[in-house]
Structure 1
Amino acid sequence: MTGSGYLFRGPRSTPESRAGRPPEPRTETRPGMLIDRDVAVVSGSGATMWVDVYRPAGGDAAAPIVAWSPYGKHNPAPIGKIYPNSGVRPEWNSPLTTFEAPDPEYWVPHGYAIVIADIPGTWYSEGPATYLSPEEARAYADLIEWAGTQPWSNGRVGLSGVSYLTQTQWRVAELNPPHLAAINPWEGWTDTYREVVRHGGIPETCFWPYIWDRWGASTGRIEDLEAETAQHPWFDEFWASKAARLEEILVPAFVVASWSDQGLHSRGTLEGFRRISSEHKWLDIHGRKKWGYYYDPENVERQRAFFDQFLRGADRGVLDWPKVRMEVRERYYQGTRRVAEDWPPKDSEYLTFYLDAAHGAMLPASPVAGAVAEYDSLGSAPGPVDARFTMTFDEPTEIIGHSRLVLHVEAPEADDLDLFAALFKTVRDGEVAGFPHYAQFEDGPVALGWLRASHREPDLELSTDFLTVLAHRRALPVPRGQVIEVEMEILPSGTRFDAGEGLLLIVQGTDIKRYPKSLLYARHENTVNAGPHRIHTGGDHPSRIVLPILPANDQAAR
């Protein structure tokens, strides 16, 4: 797909309205550091991109780390102040740190040059702006080649940054530009449609509309993601052009994902690691808040060990790292580490537990007698607003990996239905244990899943034994008042349950978590639901959940 297929509009905010100022090329000095402001870099299309370069003041060649940002290279943005619950301590960022990018005050003294770019079409960089597109990836590759051939550069370029600064790492790495030597994707989706725009086919109505305006400060035209989303309700060539071609990535990669960013980055980051073709790749999965984890000094040191290995030629023992490190959560910010040779772990045993609506239970065998759990699909009282199923573990158990939920459902008053599912951990007194969630919340679930029933058709080429990927290419009928079988992907998780602790499954017709509208979160307010939903269990309707179980391991990994 080329630029002729995009829709464009004027920006809703200008650089001036968001504290920007026109380019003024200059060099500033700080102790041990030179800062080249507003450096013009011309892409292969002939458009000028503006970048800032933070580099050592001495004469030694520096290893460039590029951060590709839509948020404004000029704009120091302390995450700890913008999002007070982000887990980022004030002392972890210097005043030079821009939003979700590496801190030059740390990296430059260690022999690195931080290159921060305003992406094409945003701020004062020439455009038009397109997002997560092949055109943007080619411009990014041009910047990498520029950074790798400057007099101050050692010729080995790395990439760093969180969220959008990771999403574009996947896109440019698939091009394998010659001077790209290592990437550090840190929480970034890889499939815009499936992981952000439509969760299980249900439109996301909060984060996605917010973020396309956040990306769009410009002096020219920007891609009209709002109009394009309305124009492309199904996964088509347009959305395929905004999904990373992961198998084409060959460069060494240190990938960091989390259990905690479900509905945004968790699934895509894990898929990124699983599918890239890099000979040298490592995965670190945590259960904490993504920004806090990125800027935590211990993890910054791990980033530097990785980049030292591949950008500076120093043996930092990275080649001996375990391929996969996973935090197995127990409580909020409590857990141990496990290691594995791959993702998902090959030792996982996928066990099936059957739902029993008569007793609200999950059982190892399907009940002989059928039963029905009914709730109001719009979450309106009086009466049940969800269906709940529980199980208690009689020995330590660790659920690590992808889960699948198969439901036999009926909507007697609607021609389609939106389903929302969540897994929670319960402790011995029945209390629900909350976990970090969506970067700033602390009462999150073990895992989430969504499905619009008309989108239930699987993509047989992309699906695996453990992961059902939906095709999203056509609507399958949902006959009113008839029972149909649907399969929901439950996003990956990693949680330990001690003997006596339990798993709670909730299924309902609205978002599981309902935070105040003032807080940024994934919401789904454009529903097809009406009247009750009925979940049929047992007998001829073996509704069930498949869980990835690993033998419990009490030894923490380094």
Structure 2
Amino acid sequence: MMNSEDYTIAYPDPVPEGVILEKNVPVQMRDGVKLALDIYKPSSGSRPWPVILAYSPFQKERFFESAKPAFYCPRGYVCVQAAERGSGFNEGKFSFHGQVAAEDGYDIIEWIAAQPWCNGNVAMMGASGYGVMQWITAPLNPPHLKALVVLATTDNYRGLCYPGGVLRRPFVLQLVAGLTMAAIWPGPVDGKEPPMNVIAEIFSHTEDGPFWWEHGGGWKNIHKIEAPVLNLIQTPNRLHAISHLRSYADIQSPKKLVITPWTNENYQPWIFETTSFNEYILRWLDYWLKGIDTGIMDEPEVTIYDNGTGKWRYEDEFPLKRTQWTMFYLHEKITDEDVYGNLSRVPPGKEQPDIYHNISLNTALTASYGLAGSSAEPEKSRKVAYVSQPLEEDITCWGPVSFTFYAATTEEVTTDLSFFVKMGEMVPEGVPLNPVTGNPEIKPEVNDPWTPPEVQIWSWGSLKAKFRQVDEKMSGPGMPWHSYQNPEDIKPDTIYEFQVEMQPVFKTFRKGCRIWLKIASDDALYATWDSSSGYVETPLSPEKAEISIYHDHEHPSHLLLSVIPYTPETDPVKPPLSDAVPGAPRFTE
């Protein structure tokens, strides 16, 4: 068996200035299982110190989405890195955000608080897997947990694996491969068991239910959290934004909401390496862990970065009370020469449906592995798209987005029929530019080769047709809630209503630009076939069906936006947060 002292690990070398590292410190959990922690301490200053815990299902040696010791240790904090049991040099069995992992989080926090170098105050900080660990640990309310700093989905079913009930297979395969290799690495370790078969569990649970509630279903217990929560939400974000923003209202403890910029990359590394943003986080931690009145709790509860103007703004609540829920209706093309249908605030009258084709499952599966052959437009259109007229004034959209539409299919077997909706801003010429840096915007990975270069995608959503039922009691404006239970296949040649929850948008769409929307039934980042499918296709299966999208008086398909009327700013956002914009200086360790 291999022990930690027998293995060479790629730690930072040299350790950042002002930091002392203690590697693989053993800590015993309540059931006797031992976990190995990495502890980064200040090399000077008066102990005891407050502690920032980064706890995740990933290897503890990585800092991709957590507090950087080079920044926080010289400022009087200990940084502790911990991985889920059964991973790396930890004993036990890896279980993917399970209840035991939450209990281990509790025990780690209480062990830290009892150490002579800790002042008894512990915060958890991190994004993605580090954040999910916060959502499942914090409801247990460890006595010495004093604050959270979190960016993460509260729902592994809807956020990570089955958004809209559709399997996000390429991502799931990549994620689980990484988690499993991290669990097995570096080889046999005394007391470590083989990990859970995570991929089999995910593929076996195509509906929401007890498995998902136990493994990363923080939304079920988020109201129990007593520690103050600093919520960081980046939009657009494929994994975390929808469920995190939905759960914000359920948090009963002191809280703040910060909507961070789209910086032509995902939140990492921007959030964890931008100097001014970490100076803002430091004000939160100093207030709750050091008892320093930094003034952060005197500021408004919500701070929003607008991706269209490049400006920060304070708000008193979320959702904003002055929100005007605005519908943009689908219409047929204005002229035969138009490429797109029309998108307008005027409700439709008598109009004919638009038709696109659902490609064969085999083709969709090939695309889901990134093996699609040609980016040229297919002979039969696989999508329909709509665009507004040039906007006559700026439109600020801050909040949830949804799309309600009416559709029918000629397909006979509809168990896997799915819809993928994307919405963006079309600029009048050239390509979209970042309002701060002036550089071309990099399209999020939800982009496909048929998105015009003049369109920047800002929102998207998916829905498997058999999960179309909406729970009205759980829903809100722009936030339809689907249980993803008790699926019911649709019938051919029958019109149904579908409601798709989409990525929230925090952006001002500028005067002269257009709002663009696309509907399709395949997407390279998803696989509509899963273990609940009712059939198997052959490689030569033909294109399967026509999809009709209806937009008339009886079927008013529409995009719903949370439009915010302008009001004068009373208190400008102050540094350091106001300095945290795309291109802001970063530290590197």
Cα deviation, 1:77-129, whole Å, max 9, x if unaligned, reads 5xxxxxxxxxxxxxxxxxxxx33222212211111111111321101101111
Q: 1:383 is matched with which residue: 373, 380, 383?
A: 380
> 2:173 corresponds to which letter in structure 1?
P
Secondary structure at 1:203's aligned position in 2? coil
Q: 1:247 is matched with which residue: 223, 227, 230?
A: 223
- The match for 1:283 is 258
> 1:547 corresponds to which letter in structure 2?
L
Aligned in 2, Cα 1:279/1:229: closer, same or farther, shift over 3 Å?
same
- The match for 2:424 is 424
- The match for 1:67 is 54
Q: Which moved more, 1:201-210 or 1:424-433?
A: 424-433
Aligned in 2, Cα 1:200/1:482: closer, same or farther, shift over 3 Å?
same
Aligned in 2, Cα 1:35/1:398: closer, same or farther, shift over 3 Å?
same
- The match for 2:88 is 123
**2: CA distance between counterparts of 1:271 and 1:178?**
27
- The match for 1:320 is 298
**2: CA distance between counterparts of 1:510 and 1:15?**
46
> 2:34 corresponds to which letter in structure 1?
T
CA shift, 1:435, in A, is 4.6
CA shift, 1:552, in A, is 4.0
Secondary structure at 2:158's aligned position in 1? helix
Q: Is the 8 A contact 2:257 2:302 kept in 1?
A: yes
- The match for 2:484 is 472
Aligned in 2, Cα 1:524/1:440: closer, same or farther, shift over 3 Å?
closer
**2: CA distance between counterparts of 1:208 and 1:228?**
12
- The match for 1:145 is 110
Q: Is the 8 A contact 2:313 2:573 kept in 1?
A: yes
> 2:249 corresponds to which letter in structure 1?
R
Within a 5 Å distance, the mapping from 1:60-209 to structure 2 comes to: 60-73=47-60, 75=61, 77=62, 98-185=63-150, 187-209=151-173
Within a 5 Å distance, the mapping from 1:10-25 to structure 2 comes to: 21=7
Q: Is the 8 A contact 1:424 1:432 kept in 2?
A: no
> 1:160 corresponds to which letter in structure 2?
M
Within a 5 Å distance, the mapping from 1:423-502 to structure 2 comes to: 423-429=423-429, 435=441, 445-502=457-514
**2: CA distance between counterparts of 1:256 and 1:467?**
19
CA shift, 1:553, in A, is 6.2
Tell me if 1:402 matches 2:400: yes
**2: CA distance between counterparts of 1:146 and 1:248?**
22
CA shift, 1:430, in A, is 7.7
Q: Which moved more, 1:245-254 or 1:281-290?
A: 281-290
Q: Which has the higher strand share?
A: 1
Aligned in 2, Cα 1:372/1:164: closer, same or farther, shift over 3 Å?
same
**2: CA distance between counterparts of 1:246 and 1:190?**
8
Q: Is the 8 A contact 2:385 2:517 kept in 1?
A: yes
- The match for 2:319 is 344
Secondary structure at 1:389's aligned position in 2? strand
**1: CA distance between counterparts of 2:277 and 2:412?**
50
Q: 2:233 is matched with which residue: 257, 273, 295?
A: 257
Count of residues in correspondence between the two structures: 504
Secondary structure at 1:206's aligned position in 2? helix
Aligned in 2, Cα 1:231/1:306: closer, same or farther, shift over 3 Å?
same
RMSD between aligned residues: 2.8
Aligned in 2, Cα 1:15/1:461: closer, same or farther, shift over 3 Å?
farther
- The match for 2:354 is 373
> 1:419 corresponds to which letter in structure 2?
F
Cα deviation, 1:177-215, whole Å, max 9, x if unaligned, reads 100001100x31110111121111111111112111211
> 1:427 corresponds to which letter in structure 2?
V
- The match for 1:546 is 560
**1: CA distance between counterparts of 2:291 and 2:553?**
63
CA shift, 1:401, in A, is 1.0
TM normalised by structure 2 equals 0.80
CA shift, 1:146, in A, is 0.6
**1: CA distance between counterparts of 2:406 and 2:195?**
44
Cα deviation, 1:469-518, whole Å, max 9, x if unaligned, reads 1111111231111111111112211111222211001111122xx5xxxx
**2: CA distance between counterparts of 1:373 and 1:46?**
63
Q: Is the 8 A contact 1:65 1:158 kept in 2?
A: yes
Secondary structure at 1:445's aligned position in 2? strand
Tell me if 1:229 matches 2:229: no
Tell me if 1:269 matches 2:263: no
Secondary structure at 2:55's aligned position in 1? strand
- The match for 2:538 is none
Aligned in 2, Cα 1:412/1:30: closer, same or farther, shift over 3 Å?
closer
CA shift, 1:554, in A, is 8.3
* Structure 2 portions without partners, runs of 5+: 335-340, 365-376, 434-439, 448-452, 534-542, 575-589
* Structure 1 portions without partners, runs of 5+: 1-13, 78-97, 515-521
Q: Which moved more, 1:99-108 or 1:123-132?
A: 99-108
Q: Is the 8 A contact 2:432 2:441 kept in 1?
A: no
Aligned in 2, Cα 1:376/1:20: closer, same or farther, shift over 3 Å?
farther
CA shift, 1:279, in A, is 2.5
Sequence identity (%): 22
